[in-house]
């Protein structure tokens, strides 16, 4: 059984990165499946492969490049994770969320999480962007939580609140940015539900998730958000709706990872513009409310 990270492990990785780059990021961006193109928009970029970085897990999923990119997005100092880690890859949740605490020790105060998700809300169309207003942590219902085990007080309290997990002010700013973009489809907002994966959901599961009040479903994001809020980071998140879930037994449609990546490719320009505009609205360091 793997030994969990110690505070010293997080420190060692943060110190290694700080000693190997002159960049001092304020914002960290985690790119979901097919969304790694955001990293290509980073200016003055400096890149590290995950396998270069001490203690860093490795990403094994197609559409996740496995690189950390430091630089600037719309003049805001940032670090972009081009590829995240997932529970279904076999990583324990404390390993999935390792980078978030490293970023905190590097001075990051805002985390932007993105993901590809299936649309449960019947109003959603493929290509829509959904701001995450709230989440449902299905693995957490069975005790799979990244904060399980001894609490590290240097990061946060034993029992962190999650009722305000997604920053309200940044969601307001996102709606303003979307209006400036002049997109035909409105910017959606809703609840993201995380399942463990890696299989896509059954029809019965999708119907149940709808009844629970979920608007989009995926296999990531929630563990990183929990750890980010535990250590005091401001969080903003959105889902790219890459497929509509199957809700009818008469349907012959089946979800697949290739269509997820293709939808990400189609929406790339829109997403890059959206995140770039949003960067300008993130308050400067030291202004977390």
Known catalytic residues? 33, 64, 86, 88-89, 116, 219-220, 243, 257
Position of tokens 């995450």?
132
Taken in order 159, 163, 166, 167, is the CA torsion positive or negative? Answer: negative
Using left for φ > 0, alpha for ψ between -120 and 50, and beta otherwise, residue 73 falls in beta
Using DSSP, state whether 193 is helix, strand or coil.
strand
Taken in order 170, 174, 175, 179, is the CA torsion positive or negative? Answer: positive
What DSSP element (H or E) covers 77? Answer: strand 76-82
Position of tokens 């962190």?
160
Dihedral, 116, 120, 124, 126 alpha carbons, nearest 10: 40
* Listed residue (68, 257, 266, 91) closest to 185, CA to CA: 266
Taking a C-beta distance cutoff of 8 angstroms, is the pair 31, 38 a contact?
yes
Strand boundaries in 90-137, DSSP class E:
110-119, 129-137
Taking a C-beta distance cutoff of 8 angstroms, is the pair 181, 204 a contact?
no
* Listed residue (195, 184, 21) closest to 107, CA to CA: 21
* Listed residue (156, 121, 139, 143) closest to 243, CA to CA: 121
Taking a C-beta distance cutoff of 8 angstroms, is the pair 226, 101 a contact?
no
């Amino acid at each position: 059984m793997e030994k969990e990270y110690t505070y010293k492990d997080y420190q060692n990785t943060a110190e290694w990165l700080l000693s190997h780059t002159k960049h001092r990021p304020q914002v960290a961006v985690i790119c979901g499946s097919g969304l790694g193109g955001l990293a290509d928009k980073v200016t003055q970029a400096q890149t590290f492969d995950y396998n270069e970085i001490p203690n860093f897990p490795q990403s094994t999923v197609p559409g996740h490049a496995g690189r950390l990119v430091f630089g600037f997005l719309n003049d805001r100092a940032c670090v972009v994770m081009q590829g995240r880690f997932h529970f279904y890859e076999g990583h324990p949740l404390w390993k999935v969320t390792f980078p978030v605490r490293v970023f905190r020790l590097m001075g990051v105060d805002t985390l932007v999480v993105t993901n590809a998700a299936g649309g449960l809300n019947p109003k959603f169309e493929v290509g829509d962007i959904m701001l995450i207003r709230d989440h449902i942590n299905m693995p957490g219902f069975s005790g799979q939580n990244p904060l399980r085990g001894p609490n590290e007080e240097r990061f946060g309290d034993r029992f962190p609140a999650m009722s305000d997990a997604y920053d309200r002010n940044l969601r307001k700013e996102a709606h303003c940015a979307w209006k400036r973009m002049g997109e035909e489809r409105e910017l959606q907002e809703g609840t993201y539900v995380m399942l463990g994966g890696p299989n896509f959901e059954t029809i019965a599961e999708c119907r149940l998730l709808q009844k629970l009040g979920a608007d989009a479903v995926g296999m990531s994001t929630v563990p990183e958000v929990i750890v980010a809020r535990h250590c005091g980071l401001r969080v903003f998140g959105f889902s790219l709706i890459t497929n509509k879930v199957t809700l009818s037994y008469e349907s012959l449609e089946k979800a697949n990872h290739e269509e997820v990546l293709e939808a990400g490719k189609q929406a790339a320009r829109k997403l890059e513009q959206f995140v770039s505009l949003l960067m300008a609205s993130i308050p400067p360091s030291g202004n977390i409310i």
